[in-house]
Structure 1
Amino acid sequence: MDYLKKLSSFILPYKKFAILNIVCNIFYALFGTLAMVSLMPMINVLFGEGKKVTAKPVYSSANSLKSYLEDSINYLITTTTENHGSQRALLYMIVLIISLFLLKNLFNYLALYYITFLRNGVLKDLRNAIYKKVISLPIAYYSEKKKGDIIARISGDVNEVKNSLLAILELVVKEPLTILFAIIAMFTISVKLTIFVFIFIPISGSIISRIGKSLKKKSNRVQSEQGIFISTLEETLGGLKVIKGFNAEEKFNKTFINSTERYYRFSNTLLNRQNLASPTSEFLGIVTIAILLWFGGSMVLIDKTLSGGAFIAYMALAYQILTPAKEISKASYKVKAGNAAADRVLEVLDTISPLEDKPNAKQKETFNSGIEFQNISFKYENELVLKDFSLKVPKGKSVALVGQSGSGKSTIANLLTRFYDVNMGSINIDGNDIKDLTTYSLRNLMGLVTQDSVLFNDSIKNNILIGKENATDEEVIDALKIANAWEFVKDLPNGIETNIGDAGNKLSGGQKQRLSIARAVLKNPPIMILDEATSALDTESERLVQVALENMMKNRTSVIIAHRLSTIQNVDEIVVMHKGEIAEQGKHHELIAKNGVYKKLVDMQSFE
């Protein structure tokens, strides 16, 4: 029940399928029991043990329902035997049994038919929910988590939840009802024999329960280890050049083998524990059946308190309890495994993002006056990366942030785009703290070009359209021209429809970066953030792109994080960073004249 409660929000949209499944399972259990009970009159016909009833029975009250049904069947058998012979009576009983088994299997199919929509619907919605959560969580979340573990949760764990949904309905509805109806029928045949059977059921149940006690913990270990080796695979594919370049194949191979070896051991333990359930429950069931044969047989042969037909029907019902009992033990293990998987999935879904919009967050549609960093401080872990940093960027002006690696330049870009939140101080746009704006409207004001050109395994056109979904082909081509990318795109086999491969690996570094710039150009935002946008380019590509960037930044507010100082000589203001603080500030010629930190950086890059 706790498991169903966890998933209730995903199950409720498909509750009609769950209800139909339960209704069909009720009829399945009912007709399954009646099919076994119908063996009794058939055997009585075969051996001539049936009670002869020549007068048509009359229904009087619910208390006499059992007698009325027995007398009705015996009346049918008696009249049929007298009028048409015992073979005709046997044929009627066979037709009755076949009809009941047909109905039983029809409702079994319908129950499975309806549960399919529930299971696959929950699977779809869970995957959609976890994917939506994955893309909404802050970047900081993934610096602590392995990507492969997230992939394992969205694939393997969600699938485990789907499988356990069928098991839980079998555990709660189908098999218990089958057992319940069978027990009711057994009580109607012989109270004494049924009480005798019930002495052994608690013993069997306690043994099976002990087998599955630690299953959830073992299942969790298996699923966690699956996340580890998927992470290793994902990291290997992402860093294949480095692995091969440093001849580190054997090292990574050992890491992967160690993980799969642990997965192998954990899986063996888990599956062997699961596999023990079925033979154990079957053996305990057969022991119960054997005791029944001895005790019930004496009631037929010695005490004469039970007919042969009633005893065989009773044995069939007892065996009918055995199968669902086995299924319940299997299902309980599946539910435990599904419970562990659900915990892992819900752990991600229940993660609260510290960057979620406030309930009263404002939509910011326009950019009017400027950006202001007010006494901001920030740390990723313990050490401050920015210390009491303040800066104003008026609308239409370009500001370049320069400094050695680790001085906090890129952190400012991450904070302005709100990939992270400041620890102290505030960042304001037009006087509004960006924490008071919706993240969507904030980022809608900005274009971003990063040092690592992030492209997707799709066409050039679709990569550019991320900047503006409804742009025409002409607008895409214009953006490519501004970014000096059209010169190579027009020569590709399919032009803008050319697929660029995984992470754009069919293109050179310079070509990829120019596509990233074209994407930002197409978006045409009022604020442009360039995070070392030309650092990956060769000299010729840099020259082409620098012209494009300067054209793009005209009359546009720009924050430029620069490593190559040759690219920022014409900006309105240069801010020199040192250990998270502003060391110098001014125009290029002013800073050169100061002969300070900036001049040293320029001299190191050997240009006047």
Structure 2
Amino acid sequence: MNYFKQILQFAKPYKGYAILNIISNVFYALFSALSFIALIPMLDVLFEKENTKVIARPVYEGLSSLKDFYKDYLSFQVNQYAQDDASKALFLVICLVIVLFLLKNIFNYLAMYFITFLRNGVLKDLRNRLYEKTVELPISFFSEKRKGDIMARIGTDVLEIQHSFLSILELIVREPLTILFTIIMMLIISVKLTIFVFIFIPVSGFIISRIGKSLKRKSDRVQEEQGTFLSTLEETLSGLKVIKGFNAENIFNEKFQDSTSRFYNFSNKLLNRQNLASPTSEFLGISVIAILLWYGGRMVLVDGTLDGSSFIAYMGLAYNILTPAKGISKASYSVKKGNAAAERVLEILNTESPLEDKPSAIIKETFNNHIELSKVFFKYEDDYVLKDFSIKISKGKSVALVGQSGSGKSTIANLVTRFYDVNEGAIEIDGEDIRNLTKQSLRGLMGLVTQDSILFNDTVKNNILLGDKDASEDSIVEALKIANAWEFVKDLPLGINTNIGDSGNKLSGGQKQRLSIARAVLKNPPIMILDEATSALDTESERLVQVALENMMKNRTSIVIAHRLSTIKNADEIVVLNKGEIVEQGKHNELISKNGVYKKLVDMQSFE
């Protein structure tokens, strides 16, 4: 139950609905039991002889005679109303039964009405918190997790928790109360018969509990497999061009079908075990009823210690226990199933981000002097990607990082923006370690244009506004002009209000990259990080955007990662990397004259 204690924390804002649900359930359980007790006077009217009528008001003589007092009091009231008219008496007791069943169902509806707000509120808050946590966790977390698995946890696992959440509330309040009130009424009718019945109930409970033991394990496997095939689907949609281009449809079909086949088998085992709960509990309940019929029938027919109308009402009460007992057994299975879902959801919620802001973190709003990377070592897994890397970038200067793939260039951009933390060494801005700054204020000082132009399924305008949500339309158009994007945006059907599709796929690669640059232009930050920002542009667009970038980079500190010589040759300093270490450093002409690694890269046209 530890998982559900954590989930129940999400119910606190809705405790008012929980209280109203409990109150409604109390009345539901009470009227559920009373509705059967009300059958006794009706049966008496139908079957009792004339000499059993009560014409004098009965006197209460203690708890032991409560049943007789109740029967006699109802009989007296019916006799007072109906006098000698049996049809009037029948009408009265039928009205009583109808009113009690009506009240029972009204409170049943109210209980479900209030629980709906609680369930859906918890569902909403849990999904919101999961999404917040997903955005908050570092990028490294998602290199180990499949995206489809995260989607399964936010979608189906949270839904499973919602259903289990309802079940556990019924388990705690509604069904036990129904059973409790019913048992009280049964004890009032016959203590001896009730004790006899309850000898058999623990046996039934033991058998039912044995069935549900393996449910959590089976649920785990079902939910994990759901995450697997959703991941395959997500990868398929992301890489559809490659799949089709390499005629790999059959490979991915097999991969997906293998996963859904495993899901099919696991689900069958889980549901068949779960479906066994209801018939088993019902059969065991009927067995108890059969024993009750035999023993109670003897009390009526042989011993004469119980009257017929009370015994029939007692049978109704005994059957009334079956429905909540079945509900409890189903709810306990549902809780076991939901436990597996809760474990998967809470695994994300309880994950602590290594990049959390310190309690004393500083909000830095300006950049004044320099960025310095000092003796930085970093590795993603086992091998160091950067080794003893040191560089100082003064305000207003541009530094270009060059080297072949895998030399650690993009890693530096990831470290400066604090997508990852260094293993050793430090990165400082104006002499302050970036780990002592709030992530939001650090990234607020930086504009980022990545190699992959990441755009969202929204309008051009809303994609650009990520740079500055309060920017005017004129500022957006100006940013688009600087990025050489206005020329195609103005011709779109709705201009800047045109939706660009999933990942911006309605646009060409060059157009997408120019929108990414416009977004950074609009942000207007003091530090620019360009991670191969012009790699997707054609030669003409690159030339125009390069001029725009150079204008934008004036008086700004820039870290430029590029393969193209035209992008970096005007940098104030060029740093040449090889396997995570600096092998050369200087201006373009200086490095060419050294005739070293940089000269070889230029000659080999590696930048192209």
Judge conservation of contact 2:451–2:533 (CA < 8 Å) in 1.
yes
After superposition, the C-alpha distances for 1:453-490 in whole angstroms (9 at most, x for unaligned) are: 00011111100000000111100000000001111111
In structure 2, C-alpha distance between the alignment counterparts of 1:288 and 1:378, rounded to whole Å = 69
Give CA-to-partner distance per residue, 1:122-156, whole Å, 9 cap, x none. 00000000000000000000000010000000000
CA displacement at 1:191 relative to structure 2: 1.3
Q: Does residue 478 in structure 1 map to residue 473 in structure 2?
A: no
- Of stretches 118-127 and 59-68 in structure 1, the one that deviates more from structure 2 is 59-68
Q: Is the 8 A contact 2:225 2:259 kept in 1?
A: yes
1:230 aligned partner:
230
What 5-or-longer segments of structure 2 have no aligned partner?
none
Q: How many angstroms does 1:67 deviate by? A: 4.5
Check the 8 A contact 1:417/1:442 in 2, yes or no. yes
For 1:262, the equivalent position in structure 2 comes to: 262
Q: Is the 8 A contact 2:4 2:339 kept in 1?
A: no
Between stretches 371-380 and 188-197, larger displacement belongs to 188-197
1:429-448 aligned within 5 A = 429-448=429-448
Look up the match of 2:45: 45
Contact 1:18 1:118 in 2 (8 A): yes
User: Which residue number corresponds to residue 74 of structure 1?
Assistant: 75
Tell whether the 8 Å contact from 2:157 to 2:344 is kept in structure 1 after alignment.
yes
Segment of structure 1 superposing worse, 194-203 or 109-118: 194-203
Shift of residue 68 of structure 1?
3.7
Shift of 1:184: 1.1
Note the C-alpha offset of 1:194. 1.0
- How far the C-alpha of 1:327 sits from its partner, in A, is 1.1
Paired residue secondary structure (2:213): coil
Q: 1:545 to 1:500 in 2, by over 3 A?
A: same
Answer with 57-66 or 468-477: which moved more. 57-66
Instruction: Letter of the 1:592 partner, please give it.
Output: I
- 1:53 shift after superposition: 2.3
| Distance change (3 Å), C-alpha of 1:607 and 1:193 | closer
Aligned to 1:458, what secondary structure does the other structure show? coil
Query: Any unmatched runs of 5+ in structure 1?
Result: none
Q: CA deviation at 1:78?
A: 3.1
Q: For residues 195 and 59 of structure 1, what CA distance do their matches in structure 2 show?
A: 25
Task: Write the letter of the residue equivalent to 2:48.
Answer: G
| Number of equivalenced pairs | 607
Given that 2:164 and 2:338 are in contact with CA atoms closer than 8 Å, whether structure 1 keeps it comes out as yes
Deviation of the 1:445 alpha carbon: 0.0
Residues 45-76 of structure 1 show CA distances to partners (whole Å, capped at 9, x for unaligned) of 10115843222234576776555433311211
Q: How far does residue 292 in structure 1 lie from its aligned partner after superposition?
A: 1.2
Task: Note if 1:421 corresponds to 2:421.
Answer: yes
How far the C-alpha of 1:304 sits from its partner, in A, is 1.2
Query: Counterpart in 2 of 1:28?
Result: 28
Q: SS of the counterpart of 1:214?
A: helix
**Shift in Å, 1:565:** 1.7
Q: Secondary structure at the match of 1:7?
A: helix
- Alignment of 1:273 with 2:273, yes or no, is yes
User: 1:118 is aligned with what amino acid?
Assistant: L
1:85 equivalent in alignment to 2:112? no
Which residue identity is paired with 1:76?
Answer: Q
- Partner Cα distance (1:559, 1:3) in 2: 46
- Does the C-alpha gap of structure 1 residues 3 and 34 become closer, same or farther in structure 2, counting only changes over 3 Å? farther
What residue in structure 1 maps to residue 362 of structure 2? 362
Equivalent-residue separation in structure 2 for 1:412 and 1:77 (angstroms): 90
More displaced, 352-361 or 172-181? 172-181
Give the distance between the partners of 1:131 and 1:466, measured in 2 at CA. 18
Following superposition, the deviation at residue 393 of structure 1 comes to 0.3
**How do residues 457-536 of structure 1 correspond to structure 2 at under 5 angstroms?**
457-536=457-536
Q: Write the letter of the residue equivalent to 1:78.
A: N
How far, CA to CA, are the matches of 2:591 and 2:516 in structure 1?
Answer: 31
Is 1:249 paired with 2:249? yes
Look up the match of 1:451: 451
Question: Hey, what's the Cα distance between the residues in 1 that align with 2:207 and 2:388?
Answer: 66
2:56 corresponding residue in structure 1 = 55
Q: CA deviation at 1:3?
A: 4.5
Counterparts of 1:6-17 in structure 2, within 5 Å, are 6-17=6-17
TM-score, normalised with respect to structure 1:
0.98
Matches within 5 A, 1:55-454: 55-58=56-59, 65-81=66-82, 83-454=83-454
Tell me by how many angstroms 1:95 deviates. Answer: 0.4
SS of residue paired to 1:213 = helix
The two structures, once aligned, show a CA RMSD in angstroms of: 1.5
Q: In structure 1, how many angstroms separate the alpha carbons of the residues matched to 2:84 and 2:476?
A: 88
- Match of 2:506, SS state, is coil
**Is the 2:562–2:607 contact (alpha carbons within 8 Å) kept by the matching residues of 1?**
no
Secondary structure of residue in 2 paired with 1:448: strand
Distance in 2 separating the partners of 1:7 and 1:231: 26
Counterparts of 1:157 and 1:12 in 2: how far apart (Å)? 21
Which amino acid is the alignment partner of residue 57 of structure 1?
P
TM superposition shift of 1:166? 1.3
SS at match of 1:492: coil
TM-fit CA distance, 1:117: 0.3
SS in 1 for 2:382: coil
Q: Distance in 2 between matches of 1:601 and 1:265?
A: 56
Partner SS state of residue 364, structure 1: coil
1:80–1:86: 8 Å Cα contact kept in structure 2? no
Q: Is the 8 A contact 2:4 2:342 kept in 1?
A: no
What is the Cα deviation at residue 87 of structure 1?
1.5
**d(CA) in 1 for partners of 2:2, 2:218:** 19
- Counterpart residue identity of residue 77, structure 2: L
CA distance in 1, matches of 2:79, 2:543: 105
Q: Could you tell me which residue of structure 2 aligns to residue 562 of structure 1?
A: 562
TM-superposed CA distance for 1:84, in Å, is 4.2
Contact residue 571 and residue 587 of structure 1 kept, 8 A: yes
Stretch moving more, 285-294 or 453-462: 285-294
In 2, distance between residues paired with 1:142 and 1:191?
Answer: 62
Cα distance in structure 2, aligned partners of 1:398 and 1:180: 78
Shift in Å, 1:318: 0.5
* Contact 1:457 1:503 (8 Å CA) reproduced: yes
One-letter code aligned to 2:510: G
Q: Cα deviation per residue 1:389-440 (whole Å; 9 max; x = unaligned)? A: 1000000000000011111110000000000000000000000000000000
Provide the C-alpha distance between the structure 2 equivalents of 1:2 and 1:567, rounded to a whole number of angstroms: 57
User: Normalising by the residue count of structure 2, what TM-score does the alignment of the two structures yield?
Assistant: 0.98
- 2:447/2:525 contact within 8 Å kept: yes
CA distance in 2, matches of 1:353, 1:465: 28
